[in-house]
């Protein structure tokens, strides 16, 4: 796990060493264990290393293989690297390291562009192929590892975060397509867009070939189906296969590391099941970590009641952290400075503060993201199913944060450029290879929406402290299977029926049957007191007014009665606006 950056110039100018250094500084927290760079006239790579596999210098990057005329920078982990290494040795390739990085290099040498179909893992990497004279860029199937880029007529620049690209002059004008999606899909801006005109991101399951003349070829190498298998399975078969694939997903993520691994234990079903499966597979010394916040009214700020039960049952080595609301505001700016894009999820700050503590003890953790999307864990799914209207109308009523009419009131007319959210959803729901409406919902959620919401949040907030988060529920083989399960089976027992069945006898029934929690941080949901004052100050500041994004009259209505402006998913619309403006002030204005 690392931070990567680099540039390929189209104008025959040499890559600036100074630009490379500036970009590396912006990704330094992702890789505190080492730093490297490689330049060859019009091409240059930078790397910040977090040492997890092959801790020796042989695993350092950028990795150069002179015999093959290849240079690589890579962020992520390849879980099947040991098996691939054996296969490649049989093909005649020799290895100088024990790293998964070198396996990618040799896999590319052996299979070319098709190498990505052999890789099982989370990854974003760039290879300079000196013989072919082009840059090969790839992102993993599920989009777990980020990769941003800036494309001009002079150069293609890439990095693990937007801050690196802003620092070397990427256009920071607001992208009106992304702006509407940001404010309607609770901060999800689907690739290739970001909130900034000059910063794009590689789509999941995508490769690019970029030539020195600026020509670009884009290829999608994986598209999962949301259909039943040709040979019908029984409910028991679906559940047994889920158990098998989830166990494999957990164990392969434990195996691919030369350092200890822990679990972020929220107390919910998903993270608790990860601990149970580790124990079931024979792991005895399991390390777990939990965080909690202050209650607000009837809204609980922690789930220790449940995480403590898991700790007791499996005798884990546990560390528990409690954060008062008075600690949240002073640290909010730090967390936002480490967001590659604006993220409104109230658990972002929680993950940031938790990761700070966990990183003092361990380098790799398992996390439960993706389970709700893959196995129907959210309350809005049943509402969508029962809704009438077109497929997009059924989805939007219970997911989209603000109707388009309200969006037009919220934003100044300069950014009124069409209902881009509706257009994007129409495109997603018109894709083939889905048996029914809810199959389309789950496919859109697990392959598109989850990428730019919870998964991105966890990557950014953990990597801000040099902590690698692995997400077994996002294993692509498990996701393929989950998408084949009949929605009625996943949605039984108010959702996640297959996971609940697996958990019976492994976990306490009180954890399995509890009402779903959402890694609570009430202060950013029920906005009042100093949090309301803070958000009001941001949105009425001269900086915000001069930026000219929001309609100030409408913003004042939201400030006056924030409790009346909650989203379909019970989020605060006021926080959505304040977060976006604060992110721009810190990451754009602060980097000019």
Identify the CA nearest to 455 among candidates 31, 146, 124, 2: 146
What is the pTM for the complete model shown?
0.95
Please indicate whether residue 2 is annotated as part of the active site: yes
Dihedral, CA of residue 209, residue 213, residue 214 and residue 218, to nearest 10: -20
pLDDT of residue 592: 64
Q: What is the 3-state secondary structure (H, E, C) of 348-407?
A: HHHHHHHHHHHCCCCCEEECCCCHHHHHCCCCHHHHHHHCCCCHHHHHHHCCCCCCHHHH
Question: Domains of the chain, with CATH numbers?
Answer: 2-220 (3.60.20.10), 235-375+437-522 (3.40.50.620)
Identify the CA nearest to 366 among candidates 288, 300, 301, 313: 288
Q: Contact 400/501 with Cβ under 8 angstroms?
A: no
Helix (H, G, I), strand (E, B) or coil at 43: strand
| CB half-sphere exposure, 273, CA atoms < 13 A | 26
Strand intervals (E) in 211-281: 216-220, 261-264
Measured in residues, the chain has a length of 592
Does residue 371 have a cis bond before it (omega within 30 degrees)?
no
Identify the CA nearest to 228 among candidates 588, 483, 16: 483
Strand intervals (E) in 30-175: 34-40, 43-49, 63-65, 70-78, 121-129, 134-139, 148-151, 155-159
Question: Using only C-alpha atoms, what is the Rg of the chain?
Answer: 23
Alpha carbon distance 331, 317 (integer Å): 27
* Beta strand 468-470 pairing with 364-366: parallel
Dihedral, CA of residue 68, residue 72, residue 77 and residue 82, to nearest 10: 10
- What crossing angle do the helices spanning 235-255 and 476-484 adopt, rounded to 10°? 170
Q: Which of 2, 115, 126, 544 is catalytic?
A: 2
- Which residues of the chain fall below pLDDT 70? 1, 295-301, 517-526, 592
CA distances (Å), origin 29, targets 115, 161, 359: 29, 11, 12
Q: Contact 461/351 with Cβ under 8 angstroms?
A: yes
Q: In angstroms, how far is the first alpha carbon of the chain from the final one?
A: 29
Alpha carbon distance 395, 152 (integer Å): 37
485's tokens: 């399960």
pLDDT of residue 446: 96
Does residue 577 have a cis bond before it (omega within 30 degrees)?
no
Q: Give 3-state DSSP helix, strand, coil % of the chain, rounded to 5.
A: 45, 20, 35
Dihedral of alpha carbons 417, 418, 422, 427, sign: negative
Dihedral of alpha carbons 306, 307, 312, 314, sign: positive
- Decide: residue 419, CB within 10 A, 0-12 exposed, 13-18 middle, 19+ buried: middle
pLDDT of residue 303: 81
Q: Which secondary structure element, helix H or strand E, spans residue 322, and what is its range?
A: strand 317-323
């Amino acid at each position: 796990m690392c931070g990567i950056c680099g540039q390929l110039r189209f104008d025959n100018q040499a890559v600036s060493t100074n630009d490379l250094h500036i970009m590396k500084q912006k990704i330094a927290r992702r890789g505190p264990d080492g730093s490297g760079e490689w330049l060859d006239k019009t091409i240059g790579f930078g790397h910040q290393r977090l040492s997890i596999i092959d801790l020796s210098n042989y695993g350092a990057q950028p990795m150069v293989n002179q015999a093959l005329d290849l240079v690589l920078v890579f962020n992520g982990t390849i879980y099947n690297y040991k098996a691939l290494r054996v296969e490649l040795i049989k093909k005649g390739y020799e290895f100088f390291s024990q790293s998964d990085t070198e396996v990618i290099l040799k896999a590319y040498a052996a299979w070319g562009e098709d190498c990505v179909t052999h890789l099982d893992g989370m990854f974003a990497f760039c290879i300079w192929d000196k013989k072919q004279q082009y840059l090969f860029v790839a992102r993993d199937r599920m989009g777990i590892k980020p990769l941003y880029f800036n494309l001009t007529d002079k150069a293609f620049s890439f990095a693990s975060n937007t801050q690196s690209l802003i620092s070397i002059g990427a256009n920071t004008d607001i992208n009106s397509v992304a702006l509407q999606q940001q404010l309607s899909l609770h901060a999800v801006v689907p690739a290739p867009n970001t909130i900034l005109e000059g910063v794009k991101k590689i789509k999941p399951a995508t490769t690019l070939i970029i030539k020195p003349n600026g020509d670009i070829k884009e290829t999608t190498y994986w598209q999962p189906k949301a259909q039943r298998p040709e040979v019908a399975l029984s409910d028991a078969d679906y559940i047994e296969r889920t158990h098998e694939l989830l166990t494999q997903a957990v164990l392969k993520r434990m195996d691919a590391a030369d350092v200890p691994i822990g679990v972020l234990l929220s107390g919910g079903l998903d993270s608790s099941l990860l601990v149970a499966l580790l124990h079931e597979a024979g792991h005895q010394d399991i390390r777990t970590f939990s965080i909690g916040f202050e209650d607000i009214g009837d809204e609980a700020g922690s789930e220790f009641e449940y995480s403590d039960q898991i700790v007791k049952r499996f005798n884990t080595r546990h560390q528990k952290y409690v954060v008062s609301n008075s600690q949240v505001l002073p640290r909010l700016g730090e967390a936002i400075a480490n967001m590659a894009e604006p993220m409104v999820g109230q658990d972002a700050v929680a993950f940031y503060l938790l990761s700070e503590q966990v990183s003092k003890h361990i380098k790799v953790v398992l996390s439960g993201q993706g389970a709700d999307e893959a196995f129907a864990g959210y309350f809005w799914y049943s509402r969508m199913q029962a809704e009438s209207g077109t497929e997009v109308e059924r989805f939007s009523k219970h997911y989209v944060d603000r109707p388009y009419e309200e969006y037009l009131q919220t934003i100044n007319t300069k950014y009124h450029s069409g209902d881009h959210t509706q257009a994007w959803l129409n495109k997603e729901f018109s894709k083939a290879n889905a048996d029914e409406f809810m199959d389309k919902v789950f496919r859109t959620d697990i392959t598109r929406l989850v990428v730019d919401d919870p998964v991105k949040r966890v990557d950014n907030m953990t990597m801000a402290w040099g902590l690698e988060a692995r997400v077994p529920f996002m294993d692509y083989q498990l996701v393929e299977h989950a998408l084949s399960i009949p929605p009625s089976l996943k949605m039984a027992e108010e959702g996640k029926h297959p996971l609940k069945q697996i958990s019976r006898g492994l976990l306490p029934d009180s954890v399995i049957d509890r009402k779903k929690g959402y890694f609570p941080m009430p202060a950013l949901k029920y906005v009042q007191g100093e949090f309301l004052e803070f958000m009001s100050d941001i949105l009425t500041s001269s900086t915000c007014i001069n930026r000219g994004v929001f309609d100030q009259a409408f913003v004042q209505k939201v400030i006056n009665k924030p409790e009346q402006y909650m989203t379909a998913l019970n989020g605060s619309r006021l926080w959505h606006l304040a977060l976006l403006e604060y992110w721009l002030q810190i990451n754009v204005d602060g980097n000019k």
